C-alpha cells in the first residue's frame, strides 16, 4: 500500500478529518492527503515537527524511552502526531468535532502500514 493510499484511508476514515501527512523530522512533507480545501499541511508539519523533536529530546534525557505520540488540542483543531521511525512521523489534523479516539486508533494503524513502506 503506497503512502498516498494509507493517508487517504486515514483521512477519509475519520469524519471531520482535515488531512494527514507523512513528515520528515526536518518538517518537510513527503506525502499528504488534504481533505479540507485550503488546509496548509506544509506549515503544520514544519511548525509541529519541532514540537515532536523537543518531546523526543525530553523523553530521552528523562530516560523515558522514545516519544511515540503527541496530541495538540487547539481552539479550532486537534493535531495528533505519531512516530513512524527515527526519521519520519505521520500527522492527522482533525476538527474539534471529530472522534479523537477513532482518529488515534486509525493513526496507529496507519503508522504501522507506513513503516512497512520504508
Q: What is the pTM of this model?
A: 0.93
8 A C-beta contact, residue 108 and residue 4: no
Domain CATH number, residue 104: 3.30.450.30
Domain range holding 102?
3-117
What pLDDT was estimated at residue 5? Answer: 96
- Listed as ranges, residues in the chain with pLDDT below 70 are none
Residue given cell 494503524 in the structure block: 109
Q: How far is CA 108 from the centre of its chain?
A: 10
What pLDDT was estimated at residue 13? Answer: 96
8 A C-beta contact, residue 77 and residue 18: yes
Instruction: Give how many domains the chain has, as a whole number.
Output: 1
Residue 40: all three cell numbers together: 496548509
What pLDDT was estimated at residue 36? Answer: 83
Amino acid at each position: 500500500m503506497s503512502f498516498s493510499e494509507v493517508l487517504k484511508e486515514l483521512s477519509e476514515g475519520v469524519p471531520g478529518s482535515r488531512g494527514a501527512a507523512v513528515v520528515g523530522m526536518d518538517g518537510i512533507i513527503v506525502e499528504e492527503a488534504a481533505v479540507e480545501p485550503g488546509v496548509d499541511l506544509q506549515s503544520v508539519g514544519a511548525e509541529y515537527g519541532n514540537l515532536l523533536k523537543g518531546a523526543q529530546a525530553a523523553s530521552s534525557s528523562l530516560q523515558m524511552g522514545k516519544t511515540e505520540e503527541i496530541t495538540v488540542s487547539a481552539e479550532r483543531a486537534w493535531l495528533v502526531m505519531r512516530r513512524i521511525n527515527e526519521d519520519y512521523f505521520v500527522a492527522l489534523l482533525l476538527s474539534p468535532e471529530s472522534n479523537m479516539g477513532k482518529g488515534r486508533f486509525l493513526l496507529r494503524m496507519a503508522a504501522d502500514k507506513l513503516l512497512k513502506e520504508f
